Every structure is written in C-alpha cells, then in structure tokens.
C-alpha cells in the first residue's frame, strides 16, 4: 500500500504539489485572507447605538470621516514618518554591525555575536520599553524626556535585532572571494561597497526593513509608554475598538496601514526580499 | 578582505557600540529587578531581593509562563509543518502563482499586528463563532510564524539542490524513504533555526495575543502587561525579564551549536 | 469602569458596541425605536428576583475585573476566595474581563452567574434583560452598605435594586508640593493655557476624560447649562473638546496606568494632574512630595456593581457571593488591594491599614456628593432632556483622537 502510494506520488508531480500546497494555502490564502476580507467588509458597516450590534448595511460614512478628518491625515503621516525614521536608524546602525559580524569575526566569535543579538528578543518587549522610560526620564541616566523622538528611539531599539539578523545572513552568503576580487581589480572599499556589497545584500536590507517598518507602523504600546502626549495610527485603531468598541470605524482606520504595507511590499517584491526574511 | 586598519577598527567599534546600546537597557532591567523602589525610581534608593521572592511565589506567573510555552510550541509546530510544505512546493515545483505564495506567507508579518489581531478576532467571533481561548492564540501566532520556517527551509533547499535526492531514488528508495533518510536530515538545522525564531516571535508577542486571547488566557507578555499596571507588583516583571534573558541563552546556544555544525553541508 | 490593567487593556472582542451610526448619518438602524436606557422613560424587561435562598449549587461562575476576585494566585497573601469556597461549598470560577463590552458579551452567553459591572455596562445589562433584580433582603450584609451607594441610577431602575455596590473612588487632582504653589484647589490649574507648569501637566488618557472637562465647565461656565458631565449636547460637547484642545498645549504626557504616573510624579517629569487616591498613597509611600485634593468643582469617579444573571444556573451561590464580597472582611480586603473606598460601612474596622477608610474618604458622604460617577454617554441624554441628542461614546472617542492630534 505504502509502496503503491509512493510510486503514485513519484509519478504525479501535480498531486504532490497540490498536497504540499493545500494546507498552507488553506490557512493563509483562505483563512487569513478571508479574515482580512471580512474586516474590510466590516469597514463598510456601522454599529447600532442602542443594541450595540453591527448594522450590516453598506455605508461609506466611515471612509468619509476618515478622509475628511484632518486629524487622521496628520496621524497617518506622523506614523509613516516614525516608521521611516525607525527603519533608517536601524539600517544605519545594523549594517556596520552585521558587516563586522559576518566578515570580520571568526566563526566561533560569530556564533556568540549572533547569540548576543538574539538574546534581547527574549526580554519582554514591554519590559524593555519601560527600561527606556526609566532611561529617558528627566531623572534618568539619559534624561532626554518623552515625546515623538523618544518613541522613535525606543522603537529603533526594540526592532534593531530584526534588522541585524537578515543583513547578517545576507552578508554571510556573500562570498569573500567576491570582495577580494573587487579589491584586486583596484576598487577602493567604498566602491566595493557601492557596486558589490550593497546591490547583493539589498534584498536582505529590504527584508529587515519590512520588519522594522511594519512593526513600527502597528505599534500603539511604546508610544503610550514614552510618547508623551503624541499618538500614532495604532492608537486610533486601538481606541476605537477598545474604548468605543466601534469595530467598523477601527477597521476603516486599519486599512490605512494595510494600504501602506501593500504598496511597500509590491514595490520591493522584485528585489527578492520576501524570501530573505 | 582588503579593508584598511582604520575601516576595520571603525567597524569593530560600531559593533561594540551597537552591542553596548543593546545591553544598556537590559542592564537597567536587571538592576531594577533588585530596585527597592516600587516604580523603578532611578537611581535605586536601595536594593532588595523581595521581587525575586515574589516572582518565585507567584503562581500566576508560573501559569502564564506555561501558557506562553504551550502557545509558542503549538504555533511553532504548525509553522514547521506549513512552512516546510510551502517551501517544498515553491522551491521544487514550477507553477502559476508561485510568487504569490511567497507574498501570502510574508503578509501576516508584514501587516501591522493590530490589523492581524482585529481581523482574526473578528473572524473568530462574528464569522466562525469560535470562543476565544488558547487555541485562537495558537492560530494567530502560527499565522505570522510560518514565514520564519518557510524562509529558512527555502534557503536550505535552494542550497541543496535535488541531486542527492535523485541519487537516493536511483538507488531504489521510495519518496517516503528518501524524505526520511536523505532530505529531512539535511534540513534539520534549517528547521531548528526557523522553529527557534518562530518560538521567540510567539513567546514575546503581545498585540495579536491581546486580540485573540480569551478573557481567561494569560500568556507571559499579557501577565507582564497586567502586572506593570498593578501597584506594588510592577518590579516583579523586571525579575521575569531578567530571568528570561539568562534562560534564553541556553536554547539559542544549543541551536547555534547544532546549526553551526550542520551548516557544513 | 476604572481599573488597573483594565482601562489600558480596553481592547478587543469587538462585537457589541456603542455606536456612531445615528450620528454620522448612515443608514437607519433597525433598533433605534427601542426605548432609551437611562434615568427616564426606560422600562426593563420583567424579570423576577430570587424569592428565597436555597442550598448552594456547589459552584459559581463570575465575570469580574482584574483584582476583584483574588484567590492567592497573584500573591498568596491576597486571597478572599478560598475562605468563601470552604464556608459555602461554592467553588468559584472566574473569568477576568478586559472591557465593559467584553463583560456584556460574556453575560449574554448565559454561562455566568454574576458580574462586577461598571456604570457603563450595568444599564445595558438591565435593559437587555441579561441581569435580574436583586432581592436585597436575601443579602444580610446589604444593610451595612453606605446609603450613598444604594439605589443610584447605575444600580437600580425605578427604585428596584439590580445589584450590590462593590466600592467607589474619585479621580483627584495631585500635585508636587515642592514645585506647585500655592496649593491648587481648582481644576483651573490643569486647564489654564498660560499655566506656569506648561509641559509638566498630565491628564488621564481616555475619552472618558472629556467628562472631567465638563465637570470644570459646569462650575466655570454655568451658561452652558451642563447638568451631567455624561450628557453633553453639541454645544456643551464642543466647549469641553475646545477646552481639552487648549489643555493639550500644556500637557507633558497623558497617563493611563499606575506605574507610569507614579514614576512621572516621582521624577518630576509631571508636577500636576489627575490621579487616583491609591496612586497618591503609593507615591507618598515612596517619598514623593505629592498631595491630592478633590477640587471645589467636584470630580469624576467610579462605582461598580455586582449583579446576578437573569438565567443564572447557580443563583444561590451567586447570592452567597454577593453577600460575601460586601461582607466586612472581604470587602475590606478587596478595597485595600484595589485601592478604593469599601462599600460596607463595617469594613472600615477590618482593613489592615486602620486608616484606610479615612484615606479613601469611605464614610464621607459630603466628599462623594461631589463625585460624578462614570457612566457611558449614550445619545439619549442621561440628564433626562428629550429635546436634544447627546454625544455618545463613539463620538467621545473620535473627539479624543482629535484632541490628542
């Protein structure tokens, strides 16, 4: 029986493929996309004031409010700015670190360095954010105070490992001989970096940026802890669903970060970044 | 590599400084776990072991830890299965929509957690009528964990090629035997690396968890969240974080050893 | 409605909701013809209260706020459940809810016997027929509950009691004695745009804080005619929102949890703003030079109610629990752990800290007469006006987003 099944599978690549694809596609293609679609549909509904039930009648009102409300534009742009700033800071900090790890350290040291970068991921995100609150307090070691700057700094810190790891992996795959060859052909380090290292590690960089960008775009807790009086798009979604329990409007607001990420993903898709996460 | 001495020094300095920045707040966490001040006043007015004692006695913390481990194990198991299957399909077969599969797998991690969270909670609640509980947390976590396994396995498959498997088939092994004796052993380290990252992602996740956990389900991050806002209890969370930092070195180190040795393939 | 983690973790499970439907001109909802909940013109479904108490059913399922039903798992010393279980033989199963909406949804499942509902959930539960009137004659300890908490708009309808009060507290004004002088006695200090404390003022980070502005306006702008800070028509609401937008320029940070606020006051990042009594006590215990007052304009506050499900499977155990949680000892324990005034007058003799009741003004009816307890705003004005529509909580939430900018 098993033998016959094995032979059957061996001969029929199509069946093999369907079997392999069925479960992941059912999960992500049907269930997850379905959930997103259901959320999108909800954004066109409203809620009843008295019963608190959803009113399943089509309306544009949530989107009208979203588009006409100046505050939502401000908050969306602010969130975009924060996500971009965090990604940029992480890139600038992570690249040299990853380069030193991948190309300068001995294999034994490399192993320890990877552990050193991974370890903070296990210390709870909340606890780390609170540690930054302590550091940034006017009485604290840094004493820079709270606000949008503090939020960017804290988020950059929290997501840094997610930028280092893909870049490190990308650089590790880059053969040393390629760099040597560039050098032998007379390229100075900067030129080698610009023409060889950067183009070849770019997908890894983009992969890292997907993490830092999306994690920052959806955050609503860090900004509560160190953000002073500012708010991000995540807070708007959270407040509408949590405090007011207004799922339709929250869903409408949530389409903003989704759109931003979809644009971002489709822009970077060709770089092969999606396979470097 | 032909880097000047200055360039090397600069890179090493960058690495050192970066690590210092990574560890400074962690040091604050460790110090605060001994801080006599209940709201981590800085500098600490005194040191105490009370919080370590309180954490040790807290059954709520132990339950939350166990819930988190269950959730992370469940999510990782699903992620291993789905991620491997998808990676095999994409790497070993040419088919229409191959690119879309990658995009689909990346999507849950690329979309902000709050979107995934409310989408899933809405679906469980209003569409499927599934009561929120540990199961829904596992489903939510697995959704964004698939990608870590998928990418690790994909990279490994790409490096391996198919020649060894073909040789195995030529020598008379059937599909299952080849997988068991040839393909799987070569992928073990990739699975471990992907699984570990998936476990870590799930273990510290709070946003999707907030939206998919039933009222009685408390993972460790949720427990920490609640305790930060309970007077008298806040410093206990520093103990938990400090202990986790120390404990986490072990699995990572083990995994590193295994992947490190296995990467000679 | 207030809480430790609860307020912050007011997330999720979006199903039932307060709404914006009517206000933003969307399609006509089918349910708007239903009678308005509130103080006037609102008839709850006819449900009989329990007439006599029988034997316990062996267990009771509770929906509660975090910190209300502690069995020692957070801290072995904090336990008022174990004794209840051994005395009554009713095993307690607790579901901790994160939000009022979650509470309402859980009660709708019919699996629970009792709930610690806040002012923004109690009326909804009554109106929907999810909870039954409570026969207070079957609850011996009810006699000792402070009169100021009995038969209030959020725990009774037309003189029929729907539950027993759990405890209460007020949202106070706190300041750093070394940085703020003279000692403030008015909310004006946190609303003055030219405040010398600009950048060091804090406010509670929630839409419900709009009511605090309304309380201030009630005293300072009588021409607006605000009668209840939770029943605001367009003009009144706009005035409150404008005041808060103006306040935004002097805010250092908004707060929503104990730890954050105590830390900010201790470090001096914040020198004046709203607080809870328990926060002030903790800050003082940690040697922070802070003082609190109930300003002359009055303040907002909270008072939760234990209610019994209309279709409770374990009604006898539920009644036993209601009696237990307001019994002098247990009520003292829960009040001290949570940091609020107990509801039972005799609890004051049972607190671990003999001064607890004084600190939390438990017996001071004068003090609580200036407190406007949290109630969720609904379109039907809670102050009884029928000629105008009031702003509901969904609109408060949007306004809050706009205020924070």
* Span A212-247, pLDDT tens digits: 999 999 899 999 999 989 999 999 998 887 666 688
Neighbours of C181 (CB within 10 A): 10
Contacts of A85 (CB under 8 A, 6+ apart): A152, A156
Among C394, A151, C240, A251, CA closest to B118: A251
Cβ separation A258–B115 shorter than 8 A: yes
Cβ separation A180–B1 shorter than 8 A: yes
Instruction: Tell me the CA distances in angstroms from C310 to B191, C48, C111, C161, one per residue in order.
Output: 53, 8, 11, 14
Residue with tokens 């900018």: C405
Looking at the DSSP assignment, which residues form a beta bridge with residue C172? C275
Instruction: Tell me the CA distances in angstroms from C244 to C219, C239, C405, one per residue in order.
Output: 16, 9, 11
In degrees and rounded to multiples of 5, residue C89 shows phi and psi of 75, 10
* Span C120-157, pLDDT tens digits: 788 778 888 889 999 999 999 999 999 889 988 888 88
Q: Is residue C79 classed as helix, strand or coil in its secondary structure?
A: strand
Domain ranges of chain A: 2-42, 62-275
Right CATH number for C169-300+378-404 from 3.40.190.10, 3.40.50.970, 3.40.80.10, 1.10.3720.10?
3.40.190.10
CA torsion A50→A51→A54→A57, rounded to 10°? -60
Q: State the Cα–Cα distance between residues B167 and B164, nearest whole angstrom.
A: 5
Instruction: Tell me the CA distances in angstroms from A85 to A76, A136, A154, A222, one per residue in order.
Output: 14, 19, 12, 15
Positive or negative CA dihedral for C289, C5, C84, C357? positive
Instruction: Kindly report the nearest CA distance between residue C245 and chain A, in angstroms.
Output: 12
Query: Is residue B12 situated within a structural domain?
Result: no
Q: State the Cα–Cα distance between residues C127 and A146, nearest whole angstrom.
A: 44
Interface residue A215 vs chain B (CB under 8 A): yes
Number of H helices, E strands in chain C: 14, 14
In degrees and rounded to multiples of 5, residue B173 shows phi and psi of -75, 140
Task: Decide which of B80 and A3 is more confident.
Answer: B80
Query: Is residue B72 situated within a structural domain?
Result: yes
Question: Is the domain A62-275 a CATH 3.40.50.970 member?
Answer: no
- Note down pLDDT in tens along chain B; length 265 residues: 567 788 889 999 999 999 999 999 999 888 988 988 877 777 888 888 888 888 888 888 888 999 999 999 999 999 999 999 999 898 888 888 888 888 899 899 999 899 999 999 889 877 887 877 899 999 999 999 999 899 888 888 888 777 777 888 788 888 788 888 888 888 888 888 889 889 988 998 998 998 888 756 889 998 888 777 666 677 888 898 888 888 877 776 776 676 654 443 3
From the list A126, A220, A274, which residue is nearest B103 (CB)? A274
CATH number, domain of B74, equals 1.10.3720.10
Q: State the Cα–Cα distance between residues C391 and C235, nearest whole angstrom.
A: 10
B-chain CB neighbours of C340 within 8 Å are none
* Mean of pLDDT over chain A: 87
Interface residue B207 vs chain A (CB under 8 A): yes
Instruction: Kindly report the nearest CA distance between residue B246 and chain C, in angstroms.
Output: 24
Mean pLDDT by 10 residues, chain C (405 residues): 35 26 29 36 78 91 86 81 94 78 75 87 83 95 93 86 93 94 94 92 91 96 94 96 96 87 90 90 86 94 93 94 96 90 94 92 91 84 87 88 91
Instruction: Kindly report the nearest CA distance between residue B31 and chain C, in angstroms.
Output: 16
From the list B58, B210, B229, which residue is nearest C259 (CB)? B229
Instruction: Kindly report the nearest CA distance between residue C4 and chain B, in angstroms.
Output: 5
Task: Decide which of A5 and A52 is more confident.
Answer: A5
Instruction: Tell me the CA distances in angstroms from B83 to A27, B86, B102, C258, one per residue in order.
Output: 11, 5, 11, 42
How high is the pLDDT of residue A275? 67
Chains touching A, CB cut-off 8 Å, 3+ pairs? B, C
From the list A72, A130, A245, which residue is nearest C18 (CB)? A245
Q: State the Cα–Cα distance between residues A138 and A161, nearest whole angstrom.
A: 27
Cβ separation B114–A94 shorter than 8 A: no
Cβ separation C27–A57 shorter than 8 A: yes
Cβ separation B174–A7 shorter than 8 A: yes
Task: State the residue range of the domain holding B69.
Answer: 57-262
pLDDT above 90 for A114: no
B-chain CB neighbours of C72 within 8 Å are 59
Among A153, A129, A131, A152, CA closest to A140: A131
C-chain CB neighbours of B57 within 8 Å are 75-76
Q: State the Cα–Cα distance between residues A256 and A259, nearest whole angstrom.
A: 5
Q: State the Cα–Cα distance between residues C378 and C394, nearest whole angstrom.
A: 9
Instruction: Kindly report the nearest CA distance between residue C405 and chain A, in angstroms.
Output: 6
C-chain CB neighbours of B54 within 8 Å are 75
Find residues 60-89 of chain A whose CB sits inside 8 Å of chain B: none
Total count of residues recorded for chain C:
405
Strand positions, DSSP E, chain A:
46-47, 54-55
Class of domain C5-46+53-168+303-362: alpha beta
Q: State the Cα–Cα distance between residues B114 and A77, nearest whole angstrom.
A: 18
Q: State the Cα–Cα distance between residues C47 and B103, nearest whole angstrom.
A: 55
How high is the pLDDT of residue C349? 93
The whole-angstrom distance between residue B64's C-alpha and the CA centroid of its chain comes to 17
Task: Give the ipTM of the model, two decimals please.
Answer: 0.87
The whole-angstrom distance between residue B161's C-alpha and the CA centroid of its chain comes to 28
How high is the pLDDT of residue C20? 26
Return the residue in B119, B180, B235, B238 with the most chain A beta carbons within 10 A, the one to mutate for interface testing.
B119
Return the residue in A4, A90, A274 with the most chain B beta carbons within 10 A, the one to mutate for interface testing.
A274
Domain ranges of chain C: 5-46+53-168+303-362, 169-300+378-404
Q: State the Cα–Cα distance between residues A96 and C143, nearest whole angstrom.
A: 72
Instruction: Kindly report the nearest CA distance between residue B233 and chain C, in angstroms.
Output: 9
* Span A177-189, pLDDT tens digits: 888 888 888 888 8
Q: State the Cα–Cα distance between residues B90 and A19, nearest whole angstrom.
A: 12
């Amino acid at each position: 029986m098993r033998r016959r099944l094995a032979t059957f599978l061996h001969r029929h690549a199509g069946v093999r493929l369907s079997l392999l694809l069925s479960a992941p596609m059912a999960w992500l293609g049907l269930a997850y996309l379905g959930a997103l679609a259901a959320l999108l549909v909800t954004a066109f509904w409203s809620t009843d004031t008295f019963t608190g039930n959803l009113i399943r009648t089509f309306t544009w009102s949530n989107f009208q409010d979203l588009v006409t409300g100046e505050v939502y534009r401000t908050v969306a742009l602010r969130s975009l700015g924060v996500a971009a700033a965090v990604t940029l800071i992480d890139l600038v900090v992570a690249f040299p670190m990853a380069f030193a790890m991948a190309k300068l350290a001995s294999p034994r040291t490399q192993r320890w360095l990877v552990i050193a970068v991974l370890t903070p991921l296990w210390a709870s995100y909340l606890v780390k954010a609170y540690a930054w609150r302590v550091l940034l307090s006017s009485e604290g070691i840094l004493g820079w105070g709270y606000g949008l700057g503090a939020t960017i700094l804290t988020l950059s810190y929290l997501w840094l490992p997610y930028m280092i790891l893909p870049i490190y992996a990308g650089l590790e795959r880059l053969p040393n001989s390629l760099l040597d060859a560039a050098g032998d052909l007379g390229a100075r380090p900067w030129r080698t970096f610009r023409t060889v290292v950067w183009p070849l590690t770019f997908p890894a960089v983009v992969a890292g940026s997907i993490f830092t960008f999306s994690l920052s775009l959806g955050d609503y807790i860090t900004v509560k802890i160190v953000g002073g009086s500012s708010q991000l798009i995540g807070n708007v979604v959270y407040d509408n669903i949590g405090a007011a329990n207004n799922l339709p409007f929250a869903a409408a607001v949530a389409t903003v970060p989704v759109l931003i990420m979809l644009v971002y993903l489709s822009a970077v898709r060709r770089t092969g970044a999606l396979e470097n996460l | 590599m032909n880097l000047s001495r200055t360039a090397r020094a600069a890179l090493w300095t960058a690495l050192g400084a970066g690590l210092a920045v990574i560890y400074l707040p962690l040091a604050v966490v460790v110090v605060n776990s001994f801080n006599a001040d209940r709201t981590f006043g800085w500098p600490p007015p005194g040191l105490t072991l009370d919080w370590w004692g309180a954490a040790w006695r807290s059954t709520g913390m132990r339950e939350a830890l166990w819930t988190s481990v269950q959730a992370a194990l469940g999510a990782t198991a699903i992620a291993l299965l789905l991620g491997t299957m998808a990676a095999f399909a994409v790497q070993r077969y040419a088919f229409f929509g191959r690119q879309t599969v990658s995009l689909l797998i990346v999507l849950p991690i690329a979309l902000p957690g709050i979107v995934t969270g409310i989408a899933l909670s809405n679906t469980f609640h209003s569409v499927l009528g599934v009561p929120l509980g540990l199961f829904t947390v596992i489903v939510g976590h697995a959704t964004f964990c698939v990608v870590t396994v998928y990418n690790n396995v994909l990279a490994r498959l790409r490096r391996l090629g198919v020649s060894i498997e073909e040789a195995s088939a030529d020598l008379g092994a059937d599909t299952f035997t080849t997988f068991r004796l040839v393909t799987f052993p070569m992928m073990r380290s990739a699975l471990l690396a992907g699984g570990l990252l998936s476990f870590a992602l799930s273990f510290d996740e709070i946003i999707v968890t907030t939206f998919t956990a039933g009222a009685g389900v408390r993972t460790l991050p949720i427990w920490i969240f609640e305790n930060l806002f309970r007077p008298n209890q806040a410093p206990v969370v520093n103990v938990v974080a400090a202990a986790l930092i120390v404990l986490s070195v072990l699995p990572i180190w083990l995994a590193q050893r295994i992947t490190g040795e296995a990467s000679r393939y | 409605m207030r809480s430790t983690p609860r307020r912050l973790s007011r997330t999720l499970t979006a199903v039932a909701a307060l709404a914006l439907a009517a206000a933003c001109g969307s399609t006509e909802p089918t349910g708007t013809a239903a009678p308005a909940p509130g103080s006037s013109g609102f008839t709850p479904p006819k449900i009989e209260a329990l007439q006599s108490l029988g034997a316990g059913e062996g267990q009771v399922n509770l929906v509660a706020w975090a910190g209300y039903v502690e069995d020692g798992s957070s801290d072995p010393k904090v336990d008022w459940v174990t004794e209840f279980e051994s005395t009554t033989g009713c095993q307690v199963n607790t579901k901790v809810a994160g939000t009022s909406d979650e509470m309402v949804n859980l009660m709708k499942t019919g699996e629970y016997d009792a709930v610690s509902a806040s002012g923004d959930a109690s009326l909804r539960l009554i109106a929907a027929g999810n909870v039954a009137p409570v026969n207070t004659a079957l609850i011996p300890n009810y006699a000792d509950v402070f009169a100021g908490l009995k038969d209030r708009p959020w725990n009774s309808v037309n003189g029929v009691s729907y539950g027993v009060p759990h405890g209460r507290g007020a949202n106070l004004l706190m300041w750093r004695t070394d940085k703020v002088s003279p000692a403030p006695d008015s909310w004006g200090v946190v609303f003055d745009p030219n405040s010398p404390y600009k950048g060091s003022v804090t406010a509670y980070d929630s839409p419900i804080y709009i009511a605090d502005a309304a309380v201030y306006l009630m005293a300072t702008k009588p021409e607006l005619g605000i009668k209840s800070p939770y029943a605001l028509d367009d003009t009144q609401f706009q005035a409150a929102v404008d005041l808060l937008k103006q306040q935004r320029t002097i805010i250092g940070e908004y707060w929503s949890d104990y730890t954050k606020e105590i830390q900010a006051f201790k470090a001096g990042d914040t020198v004046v703003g709203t607080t809870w009594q328990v926060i002030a006590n903790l800050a003082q215990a940690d040697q922070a030079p802070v003082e609190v007052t109930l300003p002359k304009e009055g303040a907002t506050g909270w008072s939760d109610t234990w209610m019994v499900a209309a279709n409770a499977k374990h009604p006898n155990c539920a009644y036993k629990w209601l009696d237990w949680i307001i019994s002098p000892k247990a009520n003292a324990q829960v009040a001290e752990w949570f940091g609020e005034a107990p509801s039972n007058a005799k609890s004051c003799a049972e607190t671990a800290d003999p001064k607890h009741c004084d600190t939390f003004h438990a017996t001071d009816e004068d003090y609580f007469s200036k407190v406007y307890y949290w109630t969720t705003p609904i379109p039907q004005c809670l102050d009884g006006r029928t000629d105008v529509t009031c702003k509901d909580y969904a609109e408060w939430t949007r306004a809050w987003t706009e205020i924070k900018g």
